[in-house]
Amino acid sequence: MPRHSIFDIMGPIMIGPSSSHTAGAVRLGRMVKTILGRKPTEVLIKLHGSFAETYHGHGTDLALVAGLLGLSESDPEIVNSLALAAREGIKIRFETVDLGQEVHPNTAIFLSTLPGGEVVQVTGHSTGGGSILISQIDQFKVALTGELHSLITQHQDEPGVVAAVTKILAEHRVNIAFLSLSRTARGEIALMTLEADEPIPQAASEAIRRVKGVHRVRIVPALK
């Protein structure tokens, strides 16, 4: 089988001008929207590297905001995204930052304020051809591409939590493709990111929410 579908070659159908700086940026914004799970009141977007240098001409800023609003990379409304965000009552600000040479050139950091004042920080990269990678959520390192269905839990770092979560997924016939764990310190807050081949059913996420020691559950469906 050729590795690429003919529609990876003849496609995607997208708003120009750049698959990495425009289409990929829309997908990044859409991932952040799903990670947040709720409409933010305010988002500060920090642009680094090539994103910072060329965002205006590539419409990277418009594309990131379009994604935050849930638009697809082929939606002609992308050019109006700043006005659409204003209408939805989301305050958007941009900053250009220099995170250093080691950081991927197409990087955006989203600082989103949710109703109630909680701030969620998400770092993402556009890795070429419309592909993306979310590398950090708050203080936790993650690796989410949007290719598979993801589950993110924030939980107490104690024995049995991970086992309880994976047992629930097994009961719902969800196959885990990738799993990673990180924590702030031993016995403190841990973050599990898990990518699965199947969509994670509502019943499973509700059961996981009830697991002792789980503080928060986020479901991030695959982007395509």
Partner 1 sequence: MKFKFNSAAQWLALAGKTGLDLADVVLRAEMESTGASRDQILEKMRQSLVVMRSSAQKGVHEPVYSRSGLTGGAAHTLAQAIAAGKTLTQGLFAKAALYALSTAEVNASMGRVCAAPTAGSAGVVPAVILALEEELGLTEDAVVLGLVVAAGVGQVAAEYGELVGAALGCQAEIGVASAMAAAGGAYLVGVDWQGCLDAGALALQNLLGLVCDPVAGYVEIPCIARNPSAATNALTCIELVKAGIRSPIPLDDVLLAMVDIGKRLHPDLRETSRGGLAITPSGRRLAEACAARSCPRKRESHE
- Interacting residue ranges for partner 1, rule: CB under 8 A: 1-20, 22-23, 50, 53-54, 56-59, 61-62, 74, 76, 78-79, 92-96, 128-129
Q: How far is the CB of 65 from partner 1 (least distance, A)?
A: 10
Instruction: Please say which residue, 15 or 190, places its beta carbon nearer to partner 1.
Output: 15
Instruction: Please say which residue, 54 or 180, places its beta carbon nearer to partner 1.
Output: 54
d(CA 39, CA 17): 28
Instruction: Please say which residue, 95 or 158, places its beta carbon nearer to partner 1.
Output: 95
Q: How far is the CB of 93 from partner 1 (least distance, A)?
A: 7
Q: How far is the CB of 74 from partner 1 (least distance, A)?
A: 6
Instruction: Please say which residue, 53 or 138, places its beta carbon nearer to partner 1.
Output: 53
**Backbone torsion region of residue 197, taken as left when φ is above 0, otherwise alpha when ψ lies between -120 and 50, otherwise beta:** alpha
Contact 86, 46 (CB under 8 A): no
At 48, is the secondary structure helix, strand, or coil? Answer: strand
Contact 108, 134 (CB under 8 A): no
User: Torsions phi, psi of 78, nearest 5?
Assistant: -50, -40
At 146, is the secondary structure helix, strand, or coil? Answer: coil
Specify the length of the chain in residues.
Answer: 224
Instruction: List the one residue out of 83, 137, 70, 72 whose CA is nearest residue 110.
Output: 137
Instruction: Please say which residue, 9 or 185, places its beta carbon nearer to partner 1.
Output: 9
Instruction: Please say which residue, 21 or 155, places its beta carbon nearer to partner 1.
Output: 21
Q: How far is the CB of 27 from partner 1 (least distance, A)?
A: 14
d(CA 157, CA 154): 9
Q: How far is the CB of 61 from partner 1 (least distance, A)?
A: 7
**Backbone torsion region of residue 117, taken as left when φ is above 0, otherwise alpha when ψ lies between -120 and 50, otherwise beta:** left
| Tokens representing residue 25 in the block | 């940026």
Q: How far is the CB of 222 from partner 1 (least distance, A)?
A: 16
Instruction: Please say which residue, 104 or 183, places its beta carbon nearer to partner 1.
Output: 104
d(CA 9, CA 29): 24
d(CA 121, CA 206): 24
Q: How far is the CB of 143 from partner 1 (least distance, A)?
A: 20
